[in-house]
Structure 1
Amino acid sequence: MKKVRLISLLFFSALMLFAVSCSDDDDPNNQEPEENTPRVFHIAARFDGKDSEVYMAAVEDLTKGSLSFKGNGYALNPVRSARVFTDDLGWVYVFDYGGGYLQKFSYNNGSYTKVKELDVAPVMGGIPHVRPWKINEETILIHNIIARDIEDEGNGINKAADMYVTRMEIPLVAIADIMETWTIPAEAWDLEGKAYVFRVDAPTVLGDKIYYGVGRRALDANIPLTGMHTIVLDYPSLTNPRYIRSDKGDGNTNGYRGSNMHAYDGYVYQANRALEGNTTMILRLKDGVYDDSWAFDVTAALGEAFNTNNWYHAGGGICYMSAQFPNAGDENNQWGVVRIDLNNQTAIKMNVPMSNLFGYQNGVSIDGQFYMAVSPVGSAGESDPFVYIFDIESTDPNAFTTGLELDKGNIFVEGIF
């Protein structure tokens, strides 16, 4: 494995054929925002469950007032879906999943301006359906798995998975490093389960390692998928990849648009997307391996079966988890919010309305409170669509207030950024 830097004139010239800049560095829209400006929160939402109809609007106060996306906000119009990130300088970054573009926006006086756009598909195996993740104030990683057909060598495996990772420098929005393509080996557990890696996402850095959650698919529907899996690389070099497993839980660990791993108190904590009838678990990793001495059975702690694909660290080991309850009466609103305490291994179902949080991406913590949009859809969505403000320190399931009111009906709020 080696790291390929963009110092080759030939490669740089080819790359520039795909890079589209909407402005140059002299454009006033591309300058850093002024200091001491009020913090702005950006909220993204989609209409009627259509991933290609995503709007973004901004507010300065999440505690009161109302925000409508109808006839308001900026139409992102992604090919498939939009992933949104912000930085401490006030820039907004949007990745067009399906289009393959990383876009940079400025925001001033209620108006968004696209100031840069870069096509990353050419360095990701030509695939625009790739996934981004902001690592820190200097880095967004773009990553993907391309599963390709291979000849079955008699072991029941006819898929090979190639992993791509590209490091994007922000706020410049430029390609900095490209990991050499890595073919993930078919380990014993894949051969036994006739499974292969089809997705990675939600990377989390701790020390000199970066941990990627793993999604696997079975080639034989009669063989259940088992185990929880991670791909670990040295960071920031993006070298020395390893594919590891724990048998303490079953289910995919890559999450879905939101975060599924969190670095806290010297460990990376990881949840599973529990398969039907399985237990929702949180495990932890350190120094590139699973910590076999620790496991948190969240299903047992809650006393009720549920699934998760995204959860959000509010601070101090307190997390809020998007939780799907399959037995919920309204099939359009099966998702609730569960407060997780990693320190004490407790789980509390918060008494907020059920909604659709499958694609929810992000909330924000401010002064001991966690802000998260909960917006029921369909007929249930005619009431209670608000930014919910949770008291991080309280274990009361009613320890929240409502703040900013949101659109009613078929508006799927995807996150606060």
Structure 2
Amino acid sequence: MRWTSFAVLVLPLTLMTGLVPAPALAAPAPAAVAAAASQGHASVRSAVGLNVRSGPGLTHKVLPRLAHRAAVTISCRVRGQQIVGSQRTTTRWNRLSTGGYVSDAFLAWSTSRSQTPSCAAPAVVAGGTPIATVNLKWPLNVRSGPGTTHKIVGELAAGARVPVGCRAWAQKISGDPVWYWIGPRRWVTQAFVRWTPSQPPLPWCGQAAPLLPAASNAAFLSRVAGPAQTSARAWGVPASVTIAQAILESGWGRSRLTSHDHNYFGMKCFGDPGPLALGCSTYATRECDGDRCFGIRDTFRAYRNPTDSFADHGRALARLSIYKTAMKHAGAPERFAVELQRAGYATSPTYAKKLIGIMRDFNLYKYDVRRA
């Protein structure tokens, strides 16, 4: 069996002074940008100032910093990383009329927050704002749901721009299973949409916003203990082993696959996301086959949240016959780790040794629970 490794993305922990990230629960749902008359007005409420960023989250590049009580004009709003601030806890980010995004958590409004329109365009990425257009010589049907069994509710002309908000895995059209949400009860197939210059990273509909890597090892353990124990009760895989695998395979949650798509175990799609994942995202990665390692692009499962990733991991180990022997030793985590390696979970001859070392170093056995 080949094993996959990800380049760890290490981010500064002081990405925005005064902002404390919290788990995000909502996925972006952009609509059309309203006219200038709908612009909102607010002022910054942060003693240390507020960073303007190139996108709706702390992983995006910092642009100019706004001073406390600085006045801002808001063009539109998007949903992104949840932030705890001086005014509120929110996933809302606002695009400024001067460019860039700021968290709504630190803004005091002088106009109505609810009247600010949603942003139509995807967040700015390197190379400019990507544009999606209909790639047909005739109109593209817009449907009320992601599939041809749903009612036709409109059409987009050939070459028309497509205001993509998020994507869903559904019925295949010309071999492509991805559909784009472009507004309430409005969907189009990805098969006939072209991106210029290239498709940006897009969220899956219903997916929690990206999470910053935990500030410490203890914070990471606190983040994953609950999902690991929930999976252990449902499927019987020792939580101590599950957490050790998550540490080893996600780099303490710092891989992009983990932070953006909530995949803690490098679980691949093999053409289908399965019953628990939302879809399949493509990543550049490295694989090793024996002593030879090489770079590839492959598809990995994208989850709604960390809990679903842990559940899918437990489900796979409990249901696949090759791990039957390991499951017989669910009450002995170290023996379980050894049997995982013997079953071919990873080709590294020291995989079990690494897991056991992590379990001992961080006393992960304290997280073990009985199966329900």
**What TM bracket, shorter-length normalisation?**
under 0.3
Relative to total residues, which structure has the larger helix share, 1 or 2? Answer: 2
* TM-score normalised according to structure 1 size: 0.25
Structure label with greater radius of gyration: 2
Higher RCO structure, 1 or 2 (CA under 8 Å, sep 6+): 2
Relative to total residues, which structure has the larger strand share, 1 or 2? Answer: 1
* TM-score normalised according to structure 2 size: 0.27
